[in-house]
Structure 1
Amino acid sequence: MSDDQLSEEHPKEQAPEEEPKSKSALKREMIALQKIGETLVDLPSSQLAKISMPELLEDAIMLARRLKNREGKRRQLQYIGKIMRNIDSDAIRQRLDSFNHQSQAYRQQFHRLEQQRDRLITDGDQALDELLKESPEVDRQHLRQLIRQAQKEISQSKSPAASRKIFKYLQENIE
């Protein structure tokens, strides 16, 4: 057998050579993981409980929450980043993204309801009729009474109690 025949029968396995990451790229990744760790430390306990993570990471986060010393907390955050380098942090990132998306959707809904309320107060019956077309389950009489009350408060420069009641009513009755 010649060398050509051997090379055809057993081709050399060529592993794709991955270029090693540069030191600055590794540092950027470490800083990003540390920032995710900071976000985890700042999360409310109710949201943190919804994220599955290793017990070691959870303990480190709880310790970072208790620390008051700035330098100690900084070192603990670096430690959290180190732990995150050794685990699969994609699931944690996705969960944090879903929390951000949910809060963004909540803010959009909140602003939409505020605009609806302001429009009801300024435009009165016209805006109320449009709202009733969109949401026929709304109590026309109650809402009209709140609108008149809010308009009266505005003209008398009183605190906007009725305006808040309109917002709360819209929040409870409109999807």
Structure 2
Amino acid sequence: MIHEQPDEFEGEEPVSKSQRKRESLALQKLGKTLTELKPQQLTKIPLADDLREAITELERIHHREGRRRHLQFIGKLMRSADHDAIQQALDGLQKEGLQQVQQQHLVEQWRDRLLSEEKEALAEFVDAYQPDDIQQLNQLIRQARKEKAQEKPPAAARKLFRFVRDTLT
């Protein structure tokens, strides 16, 4: 005699306890990532007021166990938050940070090329970016080379860096 049980979960399978725990830990980890952001970055993330308040409150908690419990609380608040939008905003911040790092590397490369190569790098830089004051650029390059030869602090190299950065942006 075979008993037929009604299909309570037609089309969807129940979520296991392990899966719920993994999801909860992932949300807690996302909340911990939010607590590591600077206040200026945190304003760019779409958060509910209670979640934003809990994240900023973590800074005041110094006791290890208290911090752990508060991170669990943040994870609990994350369950009701729009974690997809939060993750997208975090990805945007990370992409923005990577672009800034790439920009910084480009500026450093141009500065190094301008100091090491003679006329070729200068001509390429002027053709590519048309700086406002080529005379000042030449002067900074000469001063930076002179400082390096005399083993002085690199004040002109820093000024050259700022000049190249301002020209690129």
**CA separation in 2, counterparts of 1:154 and 1:172?**
23
The offset of 1:58, in angstroms, is 1.4
- Provide the residue aligned with 1:118 in structure 2: 112
Aligned residues of 1:124 and 1:147 also touching (Cα < 8 A):
no
Is 1:34 equivalent to 2:28 in the alignment? yes
**CA separation in 2, counterparts of 1:126 and 1:24?**
62
Aligned residues of 2:31 and 2:75 also touching (Cα < 8 A):
yes
- Provide the residue aligned with 2:38 in structure 1: 44
Q: Residue type matched to 1:20 in 2?
A: P
Superposition TM-score, scaled by structure 2 size: 0.88
Identity in percent: 46
- Provide the residue aligned with 1:107 in structure 2: 101
- Provide the residue aligned with 1:10 in structure 2: none
Aligned residues of 2:46 and 2:89 also touching (Cα < 8 A):
no
Aligned residues of 2:47 and 2:86 also touching (Cα < 8 A):
yes
Larger Rg: 1
The offset of 1:166, in angstroms, is 0.7
Aligned positions of 1:128-167 closer than 5 A: 128-167=122-161
Structure 1 consecutive aligned stretches of length 4 or more whose deviation exceeds 6 Å: none
Q: CA RMSD in A?
A: 1.9
**CA separation in 2, counterparts of 1:115 and 1:86?**
46
**CA separation in 1, counterparts of 2:14 and 2:149?**
70
How many pairs are equivalent? Answer: 163
- Provide the residue aligned with 1:68 in structure 2: 62
The higher relative CO (CA closer than 8 Å, separation ≥ 6) is in: 2
Is 1:21 equivalent to 2:52 in the alignment? no
Per the alignment, do residues 119 and 16 of structure 1 end up closer, same or farther by CA in structure 2, a change over 3 Å counting? farther
The offset of 1:15, in angstroms, is 7.2
